[in-house]
Amino acid sequence: MREFGRDYEVLVLDDASTDETAKVLDRYRRVLPLRVLKEEHRAGYPSAVQRLLREALDRTSYPKRDAAVLLQADFSESPDYIVPLLKALEGGADIVAGVVEQNGLPAPRAVRVARRMAPWVLGRAYGGAPVSDPLSGFRAYRLIVLKKALAEFRGGPFLETDGWASNVELLGLVAPHARRIAEAPLTLRYDVAARPSRLSAVRTLRGLLHVRRERWESHTREGKQ
């Protein structure tokens, strides 16, 4: 981000971690514009996403200019891909979705199975999505679009599902307010994870059944950047 020459802030949610997360983050406070949010009791992925996005909205003075980029804290989604997303936003897109082109080796078996079965489980909700990979949560959102999408919830929860299903659900909430949606390629790196993946193929696919009825408004899907 420094090389890109844009102002930025890193928001991290410590979801009641029992390891040395707080200690590790303290070292980064000295060199990064870092803000740490903490949960006293584990809230889980959808609650973490909701709190972080609302924090980003609360902290911006320029929602039409600023954006929020979501990525996993285990770096399976590399920060190296952030700049291509932001360049697409500066090109006029309101949402830029990371599209998984391949999984870095070794990809956990549960991930491979879930990705292979997800299009079948989701049916038209997968094929009709405004992005070619609605499962990925690695996306950039212009904050004004998020603000419009979340206004009706009046501070209440806006995600009801977990995991990949919540990524589909969030896209369904925000996409109707976007003028343009673009994509950028993404390679997942499971070989850099500090711990084994907790993803369960059965639980993930069962969760996707809850968003199978998602109906998308018509959007022109732009090519990958």
The whole-angstrom distance between residue 74's C-alpha and the CA centroid of its chain comes to 13
| H helix intervals, the chain | 21-29, 45-59, 82-90, 109-122, 124-127, 143-150, 163-174, 201-208
Domain that holds residue 91: 66-224
Is residue 85 a part of any domain in this protein?
A: yes
Q: Residue 92: its pLDDT value, please?
A: 96
Q: What torsion, rounded to 10 degrees, do the Cα atoms 105, 135, 21, 142 define? A: 120
DSSP-based three-state secondary structure for 219: coil
Is residue 99 a part of any domain in this protein?
A: yes
pLDDT in tens, 44-76: 999 999 999 999 999 999 999 999 999 988 888
- Consecutive sets of 10 residues in the chain, 225 residues long: mean pLDDT of each? 92 90 88 94 94 97 97 87 95 95 75 94 95 96 97 94 96 96 90 79 97 79 56
Alpha-carbon separation of residue 46 from 37, 52, 161, 166, 178 (angstroms):
15, 10, 7, 6, 21
| pTM across the whole model | 0.92
Is residue 76 a part of any domain in this protein?
A: yes
Report angle CA 58, 61, 62 to the nearest 5 degrees: 115
Is residue 34 a part of any domain in this protein?
A: no
DSSP 8-class letter at 96: E
By C-alpha distance, which of 33, 53, 35 is closest to 45? Answer: 53
Query: Per the structure, how many domains does the chain have?
Result: 1
Task: Quickly count: other Cβ atoms within 10 Å of residue 48's Cβ.
Answer: 19
pLDDT in tens, 94-123: 999 999 886 656 788 999 999 999 999 999
Is residue 168 a part of any domain in this protein?
A: yes
**Residue 43 exposed, middle or buried by CB count within 10 Å (0-12, 13-18, 19+):** middle
The residue whose two tokens read 């069962």 is 206
Q: Residue 105: its pLDDT value, please?
A: 62
Is residue 31 a part of any domain in this protein?
A: no
- The CA distance from 36 to 52, in Å, is 10
Contact 216, 175 (CB under 8 A): yes
Is residue 104 a part of any domain in this protein?
A: yes
Q: Residue 101: its pLDDT value, please?
A: 80
Structure tokens at 90: 């500066």
Half-sphere exposure in the Cβ direction for 186 (13 Å, CA) = 30
Is residue 33 a part of any domain in this protein?
A: no
